[in-house]
Amino acid sequence: MIQQSELILNADNSIYHLNLLPEDIASKFIFVGDPDRVPSVSNFFDSVRVKKQKREFVTHTGMYQGKEITVISTGIGTDNIDIVMNELDALVNIDLETREVKKSLKSLEIIRVGTSGSIQSEIAVDSFLISEYGIGMDGTLNFYDYDNRDDEQSLYLEFADYIFDIEFELSLPYCFGAHTDLVRRFSDFQKGITLTHNGFYAPQGRALRGKLAFPKYIDVMSEFKTKFGKITNFEMETAGIYGLASILGHKAISLNLILANRPKGSFSTNYTAKMDELIQIALDRI
């Protein structure tokens, strides 16, 4: 039995942070970061049966063309992803009454629909990109015991060897790939390797008034090349989603709307329309 201090429930037996009951969710998910983007997704639904919110976690569940889908806001960062992934898994794979893991486990299908910044000049603002692999620079998954697929381990070793000689102390990276079934479903998208960071400014090479410890970070990361491709974009959730999906037995992929091109210093002027387009594609293919 899982102790009360480890599996925390609210007075109504809902899961602690998300405030959800098992019957509130579907098996197909759209993840968004921004709580305000949840209704932008559920507005496409034919009907909505659940609307709940606690903190930054907003959840809507409804029907779209005969499919039941849940859209949930994760907030920003892999610290939040650690909460969302574990609590959603608990809702489907742990009996909340007995606090026992179920004998028959369920696999969720998760599509992240988010924004990102390209570090390659040829990747245009307002284009769509799937993260075929996510490399985490945030450290979250290093607290878990896990096994990598052969391709993930190969990419990890290449990247770890590449950054070993950098005269700058970086967090120990980790590497996970998107689920191969979902990659095939979005085969018409451009593909890349995404770096997931634990911050938006200095960790992604942005300097306002704070001085960067490693000013050449973007240049060094953009030059990394491997048989798996090259690092294409920076963001703050993908590698954590992939890692926990792998550990917990779920399927996940991250779809990125490229808002910024860092080498060119450009930013999207057509954000809303392009995000609606990406949401529609995700809903049609989930």
The per-residue pLDDT for range 181-228, each reduced to its tens digit, is 999 999 999 999 999 999 999 999 999 999 999 999 999 999 999 999
* Alpha-carbon gap, residue 201 to 76, rounded angstroms: 13
Torsion of CA 177, 180, 184, 186, to 10 degrees: -40
How far lies 121's CA from each of 220, 248, 264, in Å? 14, 36, 6
Contact between 84 and 228 (Cβ < 8 Å): no
Alpha-carbon gap, residue 10 to 2, rounded angstroms: 15
Position 24 scores a pLDDT of 98
The H or E element that residue 66 is part of is none
Distance between CA atoms of 150 and 27, rounded to whole angstroms? 28
Q: What is the pTM of this model?
A: 0.96
Decide if pLDDT at 168 tops 80.
no
